Amino acid sequence: MTPQWIAGPDCSLTRHGEIPRFRQGLYRLTPNAYAWMVPNGSWGETNIGLVECNGKSVLIDTCWDLHFTRQMLGAAAPVVQRSPIDIVINTHADGDHCWGNQLFRDREIIATQACIHQMHHMAPRSLTALQKGGKILRHLPAAGLDCFGHYMSAMFQPYDFSGVRITDPQQGFCHEKCVTVNGVELVLMEVGPGHTDGDALVYVPAESVVYAGDIAFIGVTPVMWSGPLDNLTAALRKLLALKAGMIVPGHGPLASPTDIQAILDYWEFAQEQLHARFQSDLTPFEAARDLVLSPTFQATAFARWDSPERMVTNAHTLYRHWGARLFNLPGKLGIMDIMRQQAILAFALPEATPRRLRHFHP
């Protein structure tokens, strides 16, 4: 069947101020599988899955804050009223996939063990501090701090993290786990570490639907926080091998096998191009900037994907796995420093999207 839009708010622009490439809302994909789809798949514009199981439902991921989780639940009301949510599955530990968990704290929440270990890698109050601090940093024209401040406050602007309390899944698994709810089987497949430490795919064989989480970004630059890349590409090939009729990515529109192949092509291209620059002793930032600004990159379709500056994060992760001696700040400070480098590159790309992250002239 063709996906059918059911309900959702009317928005003329996306959360980040872009023209929507598809309509936001809850879609019925197959008789019992649904997806809450948020255009265009940029920062926090996360897709959520919902599977109806004869009077109960399974939710796959929650939103970045409570407001957007409630908005999603409002659109899903016709389904969840007749089939209340019984189980929540988190595909990974990024906040935009699990920070709405607290609305389901009395339900069973499942994730990989590695995802559970990573649940607290970022604190909601740190992001609130960055939201506020970012506005101040915008006026500090040194070491790219002004770019960083503008980038972070624009990225977080649609969200309210103030009431978020991270709610851990109680059920961990490794490798593979089958969950059967009223006779409907969901197969949870651990494919991380790759995008994060604890990535999982959720496959519903009877509906021929797979919820890919952030293994798949469509029309949006993919991110590899953890790696190694071999795991991430193996996950993408596993996703293709399922031959599901519907692939719901973590971000962006519903995916075809060609779209998944394009992500594999991106990773092959990024790896090859960055490795040449690694061998020429460029730092990850220099390599990413040199590549993204090059005519070679600009001639590819990847240059039109949202947030091309994520090449900086990808370069850092690849370099780490290549054994490069990096002098990065530890932990969260290191992540923030990579974001600062991403911000500098973002503002060197006047045509890249989302535009709201670049209405700024350092």
Contacting positions for Zn ion (CB under 5 A): 94, 214
Alpha-carbon distance of 64 to 44, in angstroms, equals 6
Q: Which is nearer to Zn ion, 53 or 109 (CB)?
A: 109
Least distance (Å) from Zn ion to the CB of residue 95? 9
Q: How are strands ordered across the β-sheet holding 246-251?
A: 176-181, 184-190, 200-204, 209-217, 246-251
Three-class secondary structure of residue 57 per DSSP: strand
Structure-token pair, residue 263? 């992500």
Three-class secondary structure of residue 52 per DSSP: strand
Alpha-carbon distance of 156 to 142, in angstroms, equals 22
Least distance (Å) from Zn ion to the CB of residue 294? 27
Q: Which is nearer to Zn ion, 65 or 94 (CB)?
A: 94
Q: Rounded to the nearest 5 degrees, what angle is found at the Cα of 237, between the Cα atoms of 232 and 239? A: 95
Least distance (Å) from Zn ion to the CB of residue 277? 26
Least distance (Å) from Zn ion to the CB of residue 97? 6
First to last CA, the chain: 49
Least distance (Å) from Zn ion to the CB of residue 223? 7
The amino acid sitting at 158 is P
Q: Which is nearer to Zn ion, 214 or 290 (CB)?
A: 214
Q: Which is nearer to Zn ion, 80 or 216 (CB)?
A: 216
Residue 197 burial (C-beta neighbours within 10 Å; 0-12, 13-18, 19+): buried
Closest CA to 127 of 100, 170, 164: 164
Closest CA to 263 of 277, 242, 249: 249
Least distance (Å) from Zn ion to the CB of residue 308? 17
Q: Which is nearer to Zn ion, 145 or 191 (CB)?
A: 191
CA 202 to chain centre: 15
Least distance (Å) from Zn ion to the CB of residue 190? 15
Q: Which is nearer to Zn ion, 94 or 309 (CB)?
A: 94
Structure-token pair, residue 80? 């969840």
HEC profile of 154-194: HHHCCCCCCCCCCCCCCEEECCEEEEEECCEEEEEEECCCC
Q: Check if the beta carbon of residue 293 is closer than 8 Å to that of residue 325.
A: no
Q: Which is nearer to Zn ion, 273 or 313 (CB)?
A: 313
Least distance (Å) from Zn ion to the CB of residue 94? 3
Q: Which is nearer to Zn ion, 45 or 94 (CB)?
A: 94
Least distance (Å) from Zn ion to the CB of residue 250? 6
Q: Which is nearer to Zn ion, 59 or 184 (CB)?
A: 59
Least distance (Å) from Zn ion to the CB of residue 239? 15
To the nearest 10°, report the CA torsion of 203, 221, 255, 172. 10
Location of structure tokens 């850092």: 316
